[in-house]
Structure 1
Amino acid sequence: MTITQLKYVLAVAEYQNFTIASEHCFVTQPTLSMQIQKLEDELETKVFNRNKKPIQLTEIGKKIVEQAKIIVDESNRINDIVDQQKGFIGGDFKLGIIPTVMPTLLPIFLKTFIKKYPKINLKIEELTTEEIVNKLTEGHIDVAIAATPLENENIKERVLYYEPFVGFVPSEHRLFNKTTLDVENLDIDDILLLEDGHCFKENIINLCSTFGHKNQHFQLHSGSFDTLIKLSKEGLGMTLLPYLQTLDLNDSDKKYLREFEKPVPAREVSIIYHKSHLKIHLIEALKNVIDGLIRGVIAFNNVKIVSPIQQKKGA
C-alpha cells in the first residue's frame, strides 16, 4: 500500500470517474486503474463498485476512503514539518475568499504579501461560503477568508476584524433625515439585498429578524453592491453595505451613508482552515500580514456581531 495509491482512491471517490480522476492526478487512466487494482488485490476487497454509473464506493470502500484522507493529510504534514524546520515559506498556497470580502480586502494585503513572500505561489479563488467549506474539507484549498462564525467542527476560525454595517439611504427614503440608524427602524421589505449564495444577505436577514421583521417579501436581489447602490439611488429602497465597501464611494454618494447607533451591528471576518492544520506556517504568514495592515484601515469596538448562518424558522 502506498500514499500514491491512496491519493488515486481519493480522486476516484471524489470524481466518480477513472478518466477524470486520472486527469486531476496527472497520470494516464490505465496507470491509475492499475494502481487501484493493486491496492484492492492487496486488501482482498473491492473499494469501488464499477458496475454503477457513476462509479460508487462499496460499503467497506467508504470506510477505506475516510481512513485514506487521514493518512494522506498526515503524510502532507511531514512536508510541513520539514519546511518549518528549514524556515522555508513557499510553495503552492490556495486561498478562497467570499465575494463580499474579496474586492475590498484583497487590495489591502495582496501586494505586501507577495512582496514579503516571493516564494509562495498564491492561488486565489472567489468562492461562496458553502464552496469554501466543501473545498477546505476536500483539500482543494488550504485556507479561506469568510464571515464567521460558521459553527462547523471541522473548520478552525481566527478573527481578522469586525466590519460594521453602514446604511445607504436614498433621499426619498423614510430614514434619510436621520443622522444615525437604529436597528429597530429597519424593515426588511424595503432593503435591497444580495442574491442567494451570499452570506452577507443572511447577515441582513438575521439582523432584521432579531427585531421581529421576518417578512421575506423582498423587492430585488442583486449580485453586487455596486448594483444595489445604483438601484437604491433610483428610489427602489435602501441597502446595507460592509464598512470597507464605503471607503471608495465618491463624495456625492457618501452623503447617503448612515452609521448605526452603538452597539454597531457588524460581521465577523475570519481566516479559516481545516482542523488538520496543514500548511499552518503559511496560514500564520498570511494572517500576520493582514493583521498588520487592516488595523490601520478599520478599528471599531462596541459592536454587535451578526451571524452569517441562516436562522431556522421559529428559532
Structure 2
Amino acid sequence: MTITQLKYVLAVAEHKNFTLAAEKCFVTQPTLSMQIQKIEEELAVQIFDRTKKPIQLTEIGQKIVNQSKNIVNEADRIQDIVDQQKGFIGGEFRLAIIPTVMPTLLPMFLNNFIKKYPKVKLIIEELNTAEIITKLKNGHLDAAIAVTPLEDEKIKEIVLYYEPFVAYIPENHQSFHKKEIEVSDLNVNEILLLQDGHCFRDGILNLCKNLGHDEKSHFQIESGSFETLIKLADEGLGTTLLPYLHTLDLPTKDALKLKHFAEPKPAREVSLIFPKNELKIHIIDALRNTISGVIKGAITFQNVEIISPLQKK
C-alpha cells in the first residue's frame, strides 16, 4: 500500500462519495476507485460498504481509517523535519479565524507576517469554532485563532492574549454616568446579543449566568454584527457588550458610551490552536511570535477573569 492510496481512503471516508472524493484529490473517479480496490485486495478486507447510500465504513474500515490518519500525518512530518533542519519557513499554511476576532486582529499582524515570511502562502478563512474544530481534526486546517479553553484532548492551545469585555451603554441608561461598572450592574433582560453560533455570545451567556437569572426570557434581539448591536442600543433597545479590540476604532461619539468593568475584568482568552500532532510547528511558532509582538501594545490588561466560551448546560 502507498501513502497516496491511504489519502484516497481518507477522502472517501470523509466525503462518503467516490466522485466527490476524487474531485478533492484531483484525480479521476475510476483512478481513485481502482486504487482503493487494490488496497482492499491487498488487505483482503472491505473498507467501505458500497451498498449503503451514502457509502459507509465497515467495522474494520473504521479501524483502518483511524490508523491511516496517523500514517499520513507522520509522513507529512518528514517534510516538517527537513524544513526545520534547513531553517526554511515557507509553503502553504491554512489558517482559520473566528468572526469576532478576524476583523480586529488580522489587520494588526497580517502585513508584518507576510513581510517577514514571504515564502509562506497563507490561506485564511473565517469560520465559527465548531467548523474550525471539525476541519482541524479532518486535516483541512493547519491552525486557527479562536477563543479558549475548548477542553478538546486532540487540540493544543497557545494563549495569545486576554481580551476584556466592554459594555456599550447609551446616554439614557441608568449606568451611563458610572466610571466603571460591575457585572452585577448588567440587566440581562436588555442585553443585545450576536446570533447563535458565535462564541462571544456564549461567553456573555456564561457571564450572565453567574448573576443567577433565568436566561430563557432574555435576549430577544439578536444580530450578526457588533455594528448592528451598537445601532440598536443607540435606538434605545438595550445595551450590549463588545470585545476590547473592537472598541479601539469606534467614533468618539460612540467611545463615550463605553464602560469598562472593575477588576478583575471579565475577559475572553484568545489562542492559537492546532492539532496535537504539531505539523508545521515552525510556521505556527512564527505566527505566534508575530501576533505576540503586535498585540503587546494594544492589550495590557493583567487582572482579568476568564469567561469560558463553552456552552453551559
Q: TM-score, normalised by structure 1?
A: 0.98
The aligned amino acid for 1:59 is E
- Counterpart in the other structure of 2:270: 269
Cα displacement (A) at 1:214: 3.0
3-state secondary structure, aligned to 1:235: coil
| In 2, Cα distance between equivalents of 1:271 and 1:283 | 8
- Counterpart in the other structure of 1:247: 248
Q: How does 1:144-159 map to 2 (within 5 A)?
A: 144-159=144-159
| In 2, Cα distance between equivalents of 1:290 and 1:63 | 39
Cα displacement (A) at 1:218: 1.4
- Counterpart in the other structure of 2:239: 238
Deviations 1:265-312 (CA, angstroms, capped at 9, x unpaired): 000000000011110000000000001110011111110110000112
User: Quick check: 1:208–1:214 contact (8 Å CA) kept in 2?
Assistant: no
The aligned amino acid for 1:302 is N
- Counterpart in the other structure of 1:211: 211
Cα displacement (A) at 1:231: 0.6
User: Quick check: 1:84–1:281 contact (8 Å CA) kept in 2?
Assistant: yes
Q: How does 1:1-315 map to 2 (within 5 A)?
A: 1-216=1-216, 217-312=218-313
| In 2, Cα distance between equivalents of 1:52 and 1:215 | 43
Tell which deviates more after alignment, 209-218 or 274-283: 209-218
Q: Which runs of 5+ in 1 are unaligned?
A: none
The aligned amino acid for 1:179 is K
Deviations 1:115-174 (CA, angstroms, capped at 9, x unpaired): 111110100010000001000000101000000000111110010000001000011222
3-state secondary structure, aligned to 2:123: strand
| In 2, Cα distance between equivalents of 1:201 and 1:258 | 19
| In 2, Cα distance between equivalents of 1:206 and 1:286 | 30
The aligned amino acid for 2:24 is H
The aligned amino acid for 1:230 is K
The aligned amino acid for 2:186 is L
| In 2, Cα distance between equivalents of 1:54 and 1:187 | 49
Q: Which runs of 5+ in 2 are unaligned?
A: none
Structure 1 runs (4+) deviating above 6 angstroms are: none
Cα displacement (A) at 1:215: 2.1
User: Quick check: 1:156–1:275 contact (8 Å CA) kept in 2?
Assistant: yes
Q: TM-score, normalised by structure 2?
A: 0.99
3-state secondary structure, aligned to 2:235: helix
- Identity rate, percent: 65
Cα displacement (A) at 1:20: 0.4
The aligned amino acid for 1:109 is F
User: Quick check: 1:188–1:214 contact (8 Å CA) kept in 2?
Assistant: no
3-state secondary structure, aligned to 2:184: helix
The aligned amino acid for 2:133 is V
The aligned amino acid for 1:135 is K
Cα displacement (A) at 1:177: 2.1
Cα displacement (A) at 1:19: 0.5
User: Quick check: 1:187–1:213 contact (8 Å CA) kept in 2?
Assistant: no
